[in-house]
Amino acid sequence: MQQFVILRHDFPELHWDLMLEEEGVLKTWRLNAPPVIDPALEESSIDLVAEELPDHRLEYLDYEGPVSGDRGEVLQWDRGTFSLLERSDGFIVALMTGEELAGRVTLKKMENENQWSLNYTAFF
């Protein structure tokens, strides 16, 4: 099983960094909101835009605190493991089990070079 983490990052504006472990690095995407689903709304999925960022060091799996270069602070919003179901160029499907999330994440690259669509479907 591979690990993932979602960090709440307050710089340059509040956002969440989704990080997936892959080949010794963390593949990273910036989300404008966490993938939260309210079960009371009778919806089981949410769609978000994810901006691809450069790979990050594995240390971020366990790190909370200030980011170098006065780039704010990060706090863990969620962490856990994932199973990769499918991976091709511009397409990732994974089952995630974390403290907050339990479900399927699908990431699809969009026409804009750094933009991806993220769909999270919760298992209730």
Domain hosting 15: range is 2-122
pLDDT at site 117: 98
- Which residues neighbour 1 within 8 Å (Cβ) at sequence distance 6 or greater? 81, 82, 83
3-state secondary structure of 119: strand
pLDDT at site 40: 79
Give pLDDT tens digits for 31-68. Answer: 999 998 877 777 789 999 999 999 999 999 999 999 99
Q: How far apart are the first and last CA of the chain?
A: 22
> Mean per-residue pLDDT for 96-117?
95
pLDDT at site 33: 95
Number of domains within the chain = 1
Quote the mean pLDDT of the chain. 95
